[in-house]
Amino acid sequence: MNGELVASCLILAPQANGAVITTIEGVGDDKCLDPVQEAFIETGAVQCGFCTPGMILAAKKLLEENSHPDEDEIKRGISGNLCRCTGYQKIFD
């Protein structure tokens, strides 16, 4: 929301009024996927699909702030997302 990561489940509609909201549908364009989306597909970091959009948005934000994060920085960057399918290793890849 307004360029910051938020837990959408904790945001009330009035708080989002007038805000710029970017969801997974706003990543990439109609013709091609965003490079982060492509990387998730190439490494097999997508499973059930429930957490993947949040993981991708968190990864994009992390890479905007740090183009070469180490594994600890990646862990911190996606720590707001819970995934029981991947075990996170493919996301780190």
Domain range annotation of the chain: 8-92
- Asked if 53 contacts 35 with a C-beta cutoff of 8 angstroms, the reply is no
**Quick one: pLDDT band at residue 1, thresholds 50, 70, 90?**
very high
pLDDT of residue 86: 67
On whether the 8-92 domain is CATH 1.10.150.120, my answer is yes
pLDDT of residue 84: 78
pLDDT in tens, 2-57: 999 998 889 999 999 999 999 989 888 888 899 999 998 898 888 777 888 998 99
Angle, vertex CA 8, rays to CA 71 and CA 17, nearest 5: 130
pLDDT in tens, 60-80: 999 999 999 998 998 899 888
